Structure 1
Amino acid sequence: MLCSSCNTGTLMPTRIDGNGPVCYQCNHCNGALLSLAPYLDWVRTQPVPVASTQSFEDEAKDTKRALPCPKCSRIMLRFNVLADKAHGLDFCFHCEEVWLDAGEWLYLKAQGLHTRITSISTDPYQRRLRDQALRESAQQRFRTVVGDEGFNEVQRFASWLKNQPAREAILRHLSNEARE
C-alpha cells in the first residue's frame, strides 16, 4: 500500500512503539495507519492511562492537508486532539482506519490519550474542545483589556471569591458599586 501522506513510502505491517497495537507504518515518513478493530482489541489489554508528567518534545509532524485513505482513497475526516489544534487525527469511517503522522503516537501517549483514540472523533469530545478554546480566547481578550497585572489580580480575587459563603452578596455589592 502506498502512503497517502508522503506519496513516496510503502505502508509495512508493524507494531507502533514496539509493543503498541498492530499498524501499517510508512517506511519513508513514519506515519502509521491504524485499523480500529485490532486497536480496540489491544486497548482492552491496557491499563488505564494517565497523562505523562514528563515534558514532551513535540517532534510529531501533523499533516494539515486533507488526506485520502490509503485503502479506499476517500478523504479522511480530521478531528482535533486538543483545543490548541496543534494535532489532529485523520479518520476513515468507511475502512475504520486512523492515520497517525510521525510522532503522534508518542504525543497521544504524553497526553494520556493513546487508549482513547476513538473518543477523539465523538461530538461530545470535540464540543468540549471548542468550549475550551472559546474560554481561552475570552480570557486572552480580557487579559489584553486589563493587562497582565490586572488579569492576575482578578484571577486571585476570583479564586478567593469561589470559596466565600456570602459569594452572591459580594457579587451584588460589586454590581451595585459599579453602577454608582
Structure 2
Amino acid sequence: MKCPVCGTSLTQAKYEGVPIYHCLECRGFLASRSRAMGIRHKADRSPEILLDEAKTQLLADTRKTIRCPTCRDLMRKESIPGAAQFKLDVCHRCDLIWFDGGELALFQLAWEASPQGQESAKMQERHQNMSDEERAQLEADIDALPRSSLLGSLLDAFRPPDDGLD
C-alpha cells in the first residue's frame, strides 16, 4: 500500500501497541477508525511526550485532497475540535483515517483535553485504584444487569402481532 501523500510504501507499525500503517518518509499514519479510537483512549504516553512528538513530527497539513490508498476515492477533510484545530483525511467507504506527521499525537492530546477525555481518565484511574472487594462488587453488579439481545429486540420489533387466529 502506498502513502497517499508522498507515494512511498507504507510499513506496518504499532502506535501505542495498536497495529497501523506508517510512512517513514512523511511520517504520516493510516489507521482504521476503530483503531484510531483505540489509540485515542490510550494513556501510555504522557502529555509531554505527545506534545514533543507533535512538535517534532508535525508537518504542514496536506492542503490538497488526497486519495484513499485502498479504494482510491478522494478522502474528506474533517475538523477535529479541541485544543488544537486540525483536519484529518477520512475515507468513509473504507473507514480509514490518514494522520499527517504529528497529527496522531495531537489527536490524543485533543481527546485528553476534552471533557469526555478527562472524565474517561478519572474513570480509568478510579478503576485502577479499586480494592479487590470493590472490583468484585462492580463485576457482580455488571453480571446482575439484564441480558437482552439487540438482535432479539430487533426481531421482536418486526414480528407481526399475535392476532389469535392460529
Do the aligned residues in 1 keep the contact of 2:40 with 2:111 (CA within 8 Å)?
A: no
Q: CA deviation at 1:78?
A: 0.5
- What letter is aligned with 2:62? T
User: Is the CA contact 2:31–2:96 (under 8 Å) kept in the aligned structure 1?
Assistant: yes
RMSD, matched Cα: 3.5
Instruction: State the alpha-carbon separation in 2 of the partners of residues 12 and 28 from structure 1.
Output: 11
The equivalences for 1:105-124 within 5 A come to: 105-112=104-111
Q: Percent identity?
A: 24
**Contact 2:82–2:110 (Cα < 8 Å) also in 1:** no
> Structure 2 vs 1, CA of residues 111 and 20 (structure 1 numbering), >3 Å: closer, same or farther?
farther
> For residues 84 and 11 of structure 2, what CA distance do their matches in structure 1 show?
29
Q: How does 1:17-166 map to 2 (within 5 A)?
A: 19-40=16-37, 42=38, 46=42, 52=47, 56=51, 58-59=55-56, 60-61=58-59, 62-82=61-81, 86-112=85-111
Q: Name the structure 1 match of 2:4.
A: 4
Q: Which ranges of structure 2 fall in alignment gaps of 5 or more residues?
A: 114-166
Distance in 2 between residues matched to 1:65 and 1:4, nearest whole Å: 11
How many Å apart are 1:46 and its aligned residue? 4.0
User: Any idea what SS the aligned residue of 2:12 has?
Assistant: strand
Residue 109 of structure 1, CA deviation? 2.3
Alpha-carbon distance change, 20 to 79 in structure 1, aligned in 2, over 3 angstroms: farther
Identify the residue that residue 120 of structure 2 maps to in structure 1: none
TM-score normalised to structure 1 length: 0.49
